[in-house]
Structure 1
Amino acid sequence: MSSGLTRFSFLSGGLAFAALPALAATASRTEARTIASKHFIHNKIGLSPDRAISVYLPAGYDTGKQRYPVIYILPNLFDTDTTLFATYGAQAVFDAAITKGLIGEVIIVSADFSTPLGSSLYVNSPVTGNWEDYMVSELVPYIDRTYRTLPAAASRGVAGDRMGGHGAIRFGMKHPDMFGSIYALHPVGTGNGVQIMQGRPNWDLLSQATSLEDVKADIFSQIFTAIYQAHLPNPGKAPLFVDLPAKKVNGELVIDTALTAKLQDGFFLERMIPAYADNLKRLRGFKFDWGRNDGNFDHVYSNQAFAHKLDEFGVAYEAEEYRGSWGERHWGPNGRVMTDVLPFFAQHLAFA
């Protein structure tokens, strides 16, 4: 693998660096970097193999010699590596949490896992690229080579926001030797909802699409096409490069049994519990939460059921249903990243 610094910037996060020259050497900063990956050369949707990452370095990193634990925060649908900082003011949140003693000094990494339709879903795909391989064999080793990290699972956590929460649980399930603790904010795709999966997309739109742009006319069709590219990929079937698990026949929805079973087995996290329960039991900490007022009740229902399935297999975890909606309480000075996520990692990460 080759890698190089092709972008570099400082994201302010609420601190006016120019007005505080005396603090410039010790203030936190966020670096923008690019990894030249080998895992996207085969993708069918025009993704660049140059993958962007943003890295938060705590105050004093440049003047000290200590090593730090690392938290990887995975983005939601349509977000990139910079969204945490440019939209949610994450740098100021991280600074405040460290200053208040809610967590010790940590390095925090956000990477771009987006695709033209919204998200990679954090899995290997012959259509969108090998995202899991990128994470475990390129991104994490790159961070450990480039920064003063504590390169062990006990000092490495992974968190995620909504679809990123799905990815955080998936990585924790499959790679407890790499990630010792996981926190998923309002994860999606944990299991079946109230409405069937194939009731969401516009099947006429999908069957008539002549490009990926066409499916963006309907948000559910766009999201589910991204899911199909991850879990029902067909590199030879342009323009969507998927096997569709249903179709309309004389106005009636006809569901393909085999493809739907393959989709659910690949996508739903609760289907993975029997195979990976012992891995989850190795974690130092595991928590997920969800807002009970989510406008899509499928997310509430599936997270409740996911918690029960974990109980069935004796997996230790923390779960919380709180008063809130779709991601509204995640960021800001009183958001759950500040009040719950970072204190969780303060308890479960091994610090120097």
Structure 2
Amino acid sequence: MLLALYGGYSNAQVKTTPKKGTVVRVQFKAPSITGNPAGEASSRHLTIYLPPEYQQSAIRYPVIYFLHGMVWTDSSTMLDIHFDQLLDAAIANKEIPPVILVLPDANTTYKGSWYTNSALTGNWTDFIAKDVVTYVDQHYRTIPSRNSRGLSGISMGGHGALKVAMLYPRVFGAVYAMTPAVLNWSDSTNTKLPDFKAIQKAQHIDELNRDGRALVLVDLGRSFSPNLKHPPFYTDMPVTYSDDVAKTDSIVIKEWNEHLPTQMLDRYADALKTLNGLKIDWGRNDLARHVPGTCLEFSKKLEKLGVKHFAEAYLGGHSDRLSGMDGRVYTDLLPFFKKYLKWE
């Protein structure tokens, strides 16, 4: 989740009065989502930050694409992190040159797309790398080059940033995944969880709303192992129950392995090697207990495969160190993209 505990400019001194950029919210029809069997809306929103003096200049700008977490949307993420204020201040303080920021809406009926191509809910990896990038390049003064495109995200969005980077290495030149969730099997995602039994018994998603983990597992199933002939959730699960006896399904487990970023590394490490910059971070005190362990595991596997990257465990939780001028967006994310993106 995204929970901004620091807002505005109050936590540090702005060196000069910042000029204000412009925030717009637009809607467009996404070909990669059109016609999906789940009925997810193909008309999607983008919340876009345009830097100060964008309207008065003829300059082309790099773009940072930021992917939101599960439950959240493009607009709520902009408001919670105060991206516009942070960028205004960073540009005024010359912490980063003027840049465009784009937040796509990837919220679904079950609260998350996991930025995964699904035969049920739509092709969400393609949505980011094809639909969103094409729309932004056609309608705004971008530098239409991978070296001037950065990709980031938080939680589910961090998961998505890594996945999109692996599958579309020619689209983005630098990637920063913040507290990426569900990178691999873990204590929160494994075949021994009793939640699979509750899922098998449920006839409607409302029966699972009080159990956040079960809801996430259903959402992952609809993304990773959809089955249009298996109501009510139209997904196969890695575990089924018969007479209270659990049985793992090796075929479904293989399907999930196709989509879990750590499992994908053996196939796509070479794609990540082409990036100009790659970083992941995570909070040591994350209440989503799987995140620190799986992030460290992911980093170690990157190192083993020879993928240059930065990895940092910081003192904090899942999303309580994002906003404010002492938060990680201002102190870490923007400087990272200043270094690894190319301006005109």
Asked if TM exceeds 0.5, the reply is yes
For 1:78, the equivalent position in structure 2 comes to 71
Identity of aligned residues (%): 32
Q: Secondary structure, in 3 states, of the residue corresponding to 1:346?
A: helix
1:52 aligns with 2:45: yes
Flag the 1:335–1:200 CA change in 2: closer, same or farther, 3 A.
farther
Q: Secondary structure, in 3 states, of the residue corresponding to 1:287?
A: strand
Equivalent residue for 2:310, pick from 318, 341, 346: 318
1:115 aligns with 2:108: yes
For 2:3, the equivalent position in structure 1 comes to none
Equivalent residue for 1:288, pick from 271, 280, 284: 280
Indicate conservation of the 8 Å contact 2:22/2:49, yes or no: yes
Indicate conservation of the 8 Å contact 1:57/1:107, yes or no: yes
Q: Gaps spanning 5+ residues in structure 1: where?
A: 1-12, 16-22
CA distance in 2, matches of 1:201, 1:288: 30
CA distance in 1, matches of 2:223, 2:115: 8
1:251 aligns with 2:260: no
1:347 aligns with 2:320: no
Question: What RMSD, in angstroms, separates the aligned Cα atoms of the two structures?
Answer: 2.0
Indicate conservation of the 8 Å contact 1:42/1:127, yes or no: no
TM-score (norm 1): 0.89
Q: Secondary structure, in 3 states, of the residue corresponding to 1:197?
A: coil
CA distance in 2, matches of 1:224, 1:205: 11
TM-score (norm 2): 0.91
Letter aligned with residue 68 of structure 1 = Y
Flag the 1:217–1:194 CA change in 2: closer, same or farther, 3 A.
closer
Indicate conservation of the 8 Å contact 2:49/2:101, yes or no: yes
Deviates more, 1:42-51 or 1:321-330: 42-51
For 2:262, the equivalent position in structure 1 comes to 270
Letter aligned with residue 153 of structure 1 = R
Q: Secondary structure, in 3 states, of the residue corresponding to 1:63?
A: coil
Flag the 1:250–1:213 CA change in 2: closer, same or farther, 3 A.
same
**Equivalent residue pairs, number:** 331
Flag the 1:145–1:196 CA change in 2: closer, same or farther, 3 A.
closer
Cα offset, 1:244, TM superposition: 1.7
CA distance in 2, matches of 1:115, 1:346: 32
For 2:170, the equivalent position in structure 1 comes to 177
Indicate conservation of the 8 Å contact 2:116/2:259, yes or no: no
Q: Gaps spanning 5+ residues in structure 2: where?
A: 1-6, 10-16
CA distance in 1, matches of 2:194, 2:84: 37
For 1:34, the equivalent position in structure 2 comes to 27
Cα offset, 1:196, TM superposition: 5.2
CA distance in 2, matches of 1:84, 1:308: 30
Higher relative contact order (CA 8 A, sep 6+): 2
For 1:19, the equivalent position in structure 2 comes to none
